[in-house]
Amino acid sequence: MSVSRARRLVVAAFVVLALTGPSPAFAQTGVTTTPAPKASPGVDPTSIIGRIRQVTSELTGQTVPAPTKPSREPRMTNAQATAVADRVPEVREWIAEHPVTRTTPEFKADEGKHIVWYIRKQADGTEVTEAQVWVEDATGRVTEVRIGPQVSWMMARGVDGAFGRSINKPAVWLVLCALFLVPLVRLRRIVSWRTLDLLVLLSFSASLVWFNRGEIFTSVPLAYPPMAYLLVRMVMLALHRVRSARQRPVADETAAPDGTPAAVGRPAFRGWAPTWVLVTALLVSVGLRYGLNAFDANVIDVGYAGVIGADRISQGATPYGTFPSDCGRCDTYGPLNYLLYVPFELAQPYTGKWDGLPAAHGAAVLFDLLCIVGLGVLGWRLGGRRLAAALSLAWAAYPFTAYALESNSNDALVSATLIWAVVVAANPLLRGLAMGLAVATKFGPALLIPLFARAPFPRPRASDRGRRGLGRYALGLAASIPLLWWVLLLDGDDGVRAFWSRTLSYQFGRESPFSLWGQHTGWKPVQMGLTLLVALAGLAVVRWPRHVDLRVVCALAAALLIGTQLTLTHWFYLYIPWFLPFVLIAVIPEWPAMIGPRRRPAAPEPEPEPEPDDEASASPPDEPRGVPA
């Protein structure tokens, strides 16, 4: 092609471009344009360069290829990348214990990195990736290492801020620890059970440090000693309180007619901090946690699930079996969890993407407020405003409740329903309804249904005792079924079938590296034995101990929930708030001694009449014996 012909083609291209370009003026004057010819392969017809190439292609009859990025040949060979990966200490240690059958390197040109895969073939023929190593091609530097569970579990990789973002920063975490511990201890009795209990609650932080580093084989075992201590402590507290109950005197008119125990006085919070200090610390804690939620928090899959479920319900569909692929196993919770997200989802609709999800933020804040207010109401009723401030502060300042809030999970909803079950415990109907709400959120609290069937107060009304009280409690439980579980029927019986497979069936068959049982599959018989033991304990509390009060009920409830969590295949720090309220109620107030059941003393045996003394009767009555007249 001559130079003059090339110039004419370029000029013609610009002329055609000007005539075929979009112009509002042309559209308004009725000028029509011919349809644009089909774009050449690899050409964007909407760009200026694309139009020039397209017109030139039409004039010359030749396709003008789009420019491509020059292919970049890797500097390192696959063998060199594999050699670098083999020298990583973590990989060498893991492969020594988990031998692999093959190593496969792969070069990602768009990332400029080599990925080395360590694969093991199982007995059934399936292959499992045991480790992955990313090696930067330009420098030969290892940029990322994944071993064992980290390959398939993102939460095992120690991603910075994956749960709660800035709540994990040491400065924020330590401030909350101080706000939780310092106002609640008794300085004059610093060496006490209360101090030890509070420190053990904070000791879960050691496990979290290792989790944030991605070292779950250290973090998981560290979570079990605090739970084991709290389990034993709650059981011993309940036993000691029942055994040390004093016997009621017969003349005490405050005794219940049926002989149930009572307590003298009211629970109280005793500590060095005056009430205004407790309230100030509470306000600081609340401001810190809600400020972080507004400006530096994320929504994990649990909160995302609530928003999706609310969207499905608002559209008249059941949430079970209808979730999108990016949260395909998130429909594993009870219906209340999804129903309570509906108002927030209507105010801030679901966009179909895992974005900021303001609806999840709003719901998480509501759940957290219900816990703070519920503990405040309970403390006020039990011991006045000072105990109310102490219990509310304990929740608001405890770092792991803030951890759940900043992750915008639904776990505080479980705590809220259980707290309010204690608040309304004097009414069997409301107590049963609250327990039904707890089970309709997550299924773990179902173990507490037999315990809460008992009246936890020393002087229940006549209508709340015995079979009448039990009947009202069962009625409250039953009322939660039509109130909440109708969402399963939105798609007919499909929702009912999907509910079982997506919730309980999935949980029973779940595999997870976030427990001792998941990391050591050979311990399965021990896990099953402990699970059976906890289930039997949940049934035994229906009759034992024979007499209880509110503190005993809370201690036993905490023990049952902790026992359940000790046997879970998948355990996480978000579950700590489930049993936390019961522990706080049991250990923070100074409880008066529990009075035992009233017992009437046995009738005294009549004293035998003295026998007459022959020698005494022989003496004159007016004269002392042995004295001469």
Q: 457 with 254: CB under 8 angstroms?
A: no
The separation between the first and the last C-alpha atoms of the chain, rounded to the nearest angstrom, is 171
Residue 550 clears pLDDT 70, i.e. is over it: yes
Q: Is the dihedral of CA 377, 379, 382, 385 positive or negative?
A: negative
Instruction: Kindly tell me if the per-residue pLDDT of 17 is higher than 80.
Output: no
Region of 61 (left: φ > 0; alpha: ψ -120 to 50; beta: rest) is: left
CA-angle at 179, arms to 175 and 185, nearest 5°: 135
Element (H, E) at 519: helix 516-519
Which carries the bigger pLDDT value, residue 291 or residue 70? 291
- Tokens matching residue 318: 């059941």
For residue 160, the model assigns a pLDDT of: 87
CB 280 within 8 A of CB 396: no
Mean pLDDT rounded to a whole number for the chain: 83
**Domain locations along the chain:** 3-60, 78-152, 165-598
Confidence of residue 60 (pLDDT cuts 50, 70, 90): very low
Give 479-516 pLDDT, tens digit per residue: 999 999 898 888 777 778 888 777 777 777 778 999 99
Which residues lie across from 131 on neighbouring strands? Answer: 118, 147
**Higher-confidence position of 457 and 12:** 457
